[in-house]
C-alpha cells in the first residue's frame, strides 16, 4: 500500500446509460506522425471523468478535435446521440490558453462568448456587471467586471475563464476543463472543486484534463489514460492506487521524491541573495536570505506577493523601497540585464508570454540569453552554438532533441525543459523559478525535480515560488510564507509539510478563526 485512497471522494449525480459525449475510434495524424490512434472515450452525465497522460500523449490534440479546432482523420464523436457537428455548442470549454481576449473587459469576454455562440439576448450593462461580479466572487476572486483582461494576473485570468465556463456549463450537457488549476493557489482550487461538484450534481458531464494525481482521487469517478496517442487504461478511479496510476501514465514505476530528502545545507555557505524590507505593488517589507546551494520556497495566497517578489528581483516589476543584494553587491533598482549580469535569472510560469518565443527554434530559444550577454559586435559561431545547445538539451532531457524544431511543436513538459535549459546554460548563481512544473506530467515533473536538486548540489541557490505545497515540501530547505506582502513565517526543514504550508498561508483573520475553532473543539 502507498497510502493513497483508492476511492474518489468526489460526488456526482447517477450516471446515465447513454454517454453525454461518445468518442469512438478517433485518429489524427500530422505529417505522417500519428498523434491519436483509435481513441475511445465516453463522458456520462453527472460524472467527473479525468483524462491523464504524459506530455505529448495526445490529450491536447483530443481536446482540439472535440472543440472542432482539428478535424479527425477517422472515427466518430456524438453528443447526446447526435453527430457532434449538431451538438458542439452543448459543450463548454476551458482551454489551456484560456481563450480570453486581452483587449476586452472581463464582462465583455463573458458576453462575446454568448454572442459567438448565437445567443443574441439584449444586454443591460448594470445587470451584466452584477451577474459577472457575483460569479467571480463565488470563486473567491472579486474582480471588477470593467477591468481589461490584459491587466489581470495569471490567476485572475484563469478564474475569469473558469467562471465564464461555469456559466455556460449550466446550459450544456458537458464541460471540458484543460488544466484548470495550473495557476491557482489552494483556496481558489477548493472553490473550483466545489463548482465542479455542483456541475456534476446537476447532471453535467465533466472532462477534467489534469496532471495532478490528488485532483483525480478527490474529484473523479472515472479516469482514462493516454500514452503515445492510445488509450492504455479507462476504468473507475476506485479501482486504482496512486502508484498504479503513475505507472499507467509513465509506462514504468516512478519513485516520487520524499519531502526533505536533501542533505543539510552547510550553514557556513556564503549568502548569494539578501532581500531587506522589499516593497512593490504587492510587497510591504519582505525580507529573507538565500545561501549558496540552498533551495528556498515562497508560498502564499493570491495577492500576498509571493510570486511578484521574483519579478521584482529581476526588474520585471519595479520596487518602491528596500534593498536587494546579489553576491554582496547592492543592485539598486534591478533591470533584467543587471540581474543577468549579477548571475540572477528567472524561469517564469508564463512559458508562452514571457519564457519562450514559440515560433523560434529550440536552438534560438536556448541560445538567446548568451547572445544578449555577448559583447557588442562579437560573433557567435553557429557550430559552437549548436554543440552547446545540444549538450543542454541532453542534460535537461528535451524530447525530441532537434535543435531546429520550433518550440511551439513541443509538448508543455518539453517546452518547460527548454526553458530550464535556456537559463541553466547561463550558469546562474541564483535561479528563480515560478511554478516550475505547472501543467507538466508526473514523469516530466519527477525529471525536473531531480534536475533542480542536482543543480542545487552543484552550488546554485534557488528561490521557488509555487502554488503546489507538495512541490515545496519535496524540494525546499526552507519555505518563506508570505502574507499581506510580508514574510509572515519561515518554515524550517523539520516543519515543512503540505498542511503546514497551506495553514501558514492563510491570512490573519482565517488563521484566528481556525485557532478559535480548534480551541472550541478541545473544550
Alpha helices (H) along 104-241: 106-116, 125-138, 154-169, 186-201, 213-219
Kind and range of the H or E run holding 29 = strand 21-30
Is there a cis peptide before residue 348, judged by omega within 30 degrees of 0? no
Kind and range of the H or E run holding 178 = strand 174-178
pLDDT at 275: 95
93 phi, psi to nearest 5 deg: -130, 145
Q: Quick check: helix, strand or coil at residue 375?
A: coil
pLDDT at 119: 47
Residue 439: Cβ within 10 Å count: 24
CA Rg value for the chain:
23
How are beta strands 74-79 and 82-83 bridged, if at all? antiparallel
Q: Quick check: helix, strand or coil at residue 437?
A: coil
Cell numbers representing residue 345 in the block: 535569472
Q: Tell me which residue of 197, 216, 187 sits closest to 6, measured CA to CA.
A: 216
Distance CA 38, CA 210 (A): 21
Q: Quick check: helix, strand or coil at residue 373?
A: helix
The answer to whether 284 touches 486, Cβ cutoff 8 Å, is yes
Distance CA 32, CA 27 (A): 12
Residue with cell 505547472: 438
| DSSP code per residue over 81-116 | TEEGGGTGGGEEEE-TTTT--TTSBHHHHHHHHHHH
Q: Quick check: helix, strand or coil at residue 361?
A: strand
Is there a cis peptide before residue 234, judged by omega within 30 degrees of 0? no
323 phi, psi to nearest 5 deg: -130, 140
| DSSP code per residue over 471-489 | HHHHH-SEEEEEETTEEEE
Length of the chain: 523
Q: Tell me which residue of 186, 260, 275 sits closest to 505, measured CA to CA.
A: 186
Kind and range of the H or E run holding 179 = none
The answer to whether 381 touches 435, Cβ cutoff 8 Å, is no
Cell numbers representing residue 179 in the block: 488544466
Q: Which residues does 509 contact at the CB level (< 8 Å), separation at least 6?
A: none
| CA of residue 135 relative to chain centroid, distance | 23
229 phi, psi to nearest 5 deg: 80, 0
Distance CA 187, CA 461 (A): 29
The partner residues of 27 in beta bridges, in order of sequence, read: 74
The answer to whether 440 touches 55, Cβ cutoff 8 Å, is yes
Domains of the chain: 21-251 (3.40.50.300), 254-343+428-508 (3.40.50.300), 356-426 (no CATH)
Distance CA 110, CA 121 (A): 13
Residue 103: Cβ within 10 Å count: 9
The answer to whether 129 touches 173, Cβ cutoff 8 Å, is no
The partner residues of 21 in beta bridges, in order of sequence, read: 43, 79
pLDDT at 49: 96
| CA of residue 343 relative to chain centroid, distance | 26
Q: From first to last of the 523 residues of the chain, give the pLDDT tens digit.
A: 444 444 444 445 454 567 899 999 999 998 878 899 999 999 999 999 999 988 778 898 899 999 888 999 999 999 988 888 877 778 888 777 777 888 888 888 887 765 554 444 555 678 888 888 888 887 667 788 888 988 887 778 878 887 887 777 666 788 898 888 776 766 677 777 888 888 888 888 999 998 888 899 999 999 999 988 999 999 999 999 988 988 888 777 665 554 444 555 556 789 999 999 999 999 999 999 999 999 999 998 777 899 999 999 999 999 999 999 998 899 888 999 889 889 999 999 888 888 899 999 999 999 888 877 665 555 556 666 778 888 888 888 888 888 999 998 887 778 888 999 999 999 999 999 999 988 777 777 888 899 999 999 999 999 999 988 889 999 999 999 998 899 999 999 899 988 888 788 865 534 443 343 334 444 4
Q: Tell me which residue of 143, 140, 138 sits closest to 170, measured CA to CA.
A: 138
| CA of residue 387 relative to chain centroid, distance | 31
pLDDT at 195: 80
The answer to whether 315 touches 338, Cβ cutoff 8 Å, is yes
Q: Tell me which residue of 216, 87, 227, 109 sits closest to 162, measured CA to CA.
A: 109
Distance CA 218, CA 286 (A): 35
Amino acid at each position: 500500500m502507498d497510502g493513497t485512497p483508492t476511492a474518489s471522494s468526489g460526488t456526482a449525480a447517477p450516471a446515465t446509460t447513454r454517454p453525454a459525449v461518445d468518442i469512438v475510434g478517433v485518429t489524427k495524424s500530422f505529417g505522417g506522425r500519428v498523434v491519436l490512434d483509435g481513441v475511445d472515450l465516453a463522458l456520462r452525465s453527472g460524472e467527473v471523468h479525468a483524462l491523464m497522460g504524459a506530455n505529448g500523449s495526445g490529450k491536447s490534440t483530443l481536446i482540439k478535435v472535440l472543440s472542432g479546432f482539428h478535424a479527425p482523420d477517422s472515427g466518430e464523436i456524438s453528443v447526446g446521440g447526435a453527430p457532434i457537428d449538431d451538438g458542439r455548442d452543448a459543450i463548454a470549454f476551458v482551454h489551456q490558453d484560456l481563450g480570453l481576449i486581452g483587449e476586452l473587459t472581463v464582462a465583455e469576454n463573458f458576453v462575446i462568448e454568448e454572442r459567438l455562440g448565437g445567443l443574441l439576448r439584449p444586454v443591460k450593462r448594470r445587470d451584466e456587471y452584477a451577474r459577472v461580479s457575483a460569479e467571480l466572487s463565488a470563486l473567491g476572486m472579486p474582480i471588477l467586471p470593467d477591468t481589461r483582461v490584459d491587466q489581470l494576473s495569471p490567476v485572475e485570468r484563469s478564474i475569469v475563464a473558469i467562471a465564464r465556463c461555469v456559466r455556460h456549463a449550466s446550459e450544456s450537457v458537458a464541460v471540458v476543463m484543460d488544466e484548470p488549476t495550473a495557476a491557482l493557489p489552494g483556496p481558489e482550487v477548493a472553490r473550483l472543486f466545489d463548482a465542479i461538484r455542483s456541475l456534476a450534481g446537476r447532471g453535467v458531464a465533466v472532462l477534467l484534463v489534469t496532471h495532478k494525481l490528488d485532483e483525480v482521487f478527490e474529484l473523479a469517478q472515472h479516469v482514462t489514460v493516454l500514452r503515445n496517442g492510445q488509450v492504455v487504461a479507462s476504468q473507475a478511479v476506485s479501482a486504482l492506487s496512486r502508484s498504479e496510476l503513475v505507472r499507467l501514465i509513465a509506462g514504468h514505476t516512478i519513485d516520487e521524491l520524499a519531502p526533505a530528502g536533501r542533505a543539510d545545507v552547510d550553514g557556513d555557505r556564503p549568502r548569494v541573495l539578501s532581500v531587506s524590507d522589499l516593497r512593490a505593488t504587492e510587497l510591504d517589507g519582505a525580507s529573507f536570505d538565500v545561501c549558496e546551494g540552498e533551495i528556498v520556497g515562497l508560498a502564499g495566497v493570491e495577492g500576498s506577493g509571493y510570486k511578484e517578489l521574483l519579478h521584482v528581483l529581476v526588474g520585471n516589476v519595479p520596487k518602491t523601497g528596500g534593498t536587494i543584494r546579489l553576491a554582496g553587491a547592492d543592485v539598486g533598482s534591478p533591470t533584467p540585464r543587471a540581474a543577468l549580469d549579477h548571475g540572477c535569472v528567472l524561469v517564469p510560469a508564463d512559458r508562452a508570454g514571457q519564457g519562450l518565443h514559440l515560433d523560434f527554434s529550440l536552438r534560438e530559444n536556448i541560445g538567446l540569453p548568451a547572445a544578449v550577454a555577448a559583447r557588442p559586435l562579437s560573433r557567435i559561431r553557429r557550430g559552437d552554438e549548436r554543440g552547446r545547445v545540444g549538450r543542454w538539451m541532453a542534460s535537461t532531457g528535451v524530447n525530441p532533441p532537434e535543435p531546429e524544431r520550433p518550440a511551439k511543436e513541443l509538448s508543455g513538459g518539453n517546452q518547460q525543459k527548454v526553458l530550464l535549459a535556456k537559463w541553466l546554460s547561463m550558469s546562474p548563481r541564483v535561479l528563480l523559478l515560478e511554478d516550475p512544473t505547472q501543467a507538466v506530467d508526473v514523469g516530466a515533473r519527477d525529471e525536473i525535480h531531480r534536475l533542480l536538486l542536482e543543480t542545487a548540489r552543484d552550488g546554485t541557490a534557488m528561490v521557488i515560488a509555487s502554488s503546489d505545497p507538495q512541490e515545496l515540501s519535496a524540494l525546499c530547505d526552507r519555505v518563506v510564507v508570505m502574507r499581506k506582502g510580508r514574510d509572515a513565517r519561515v518554515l524550517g526543514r523539520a516543519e515543512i509539510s503540505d498542511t503546514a504550508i497551506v495553514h501558514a498561508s492563510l491570512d490573519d483573520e482565517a488563521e484566528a478563526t481556525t485557532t478559535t475553532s480548534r480551541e472550541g473543539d478541545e473544550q
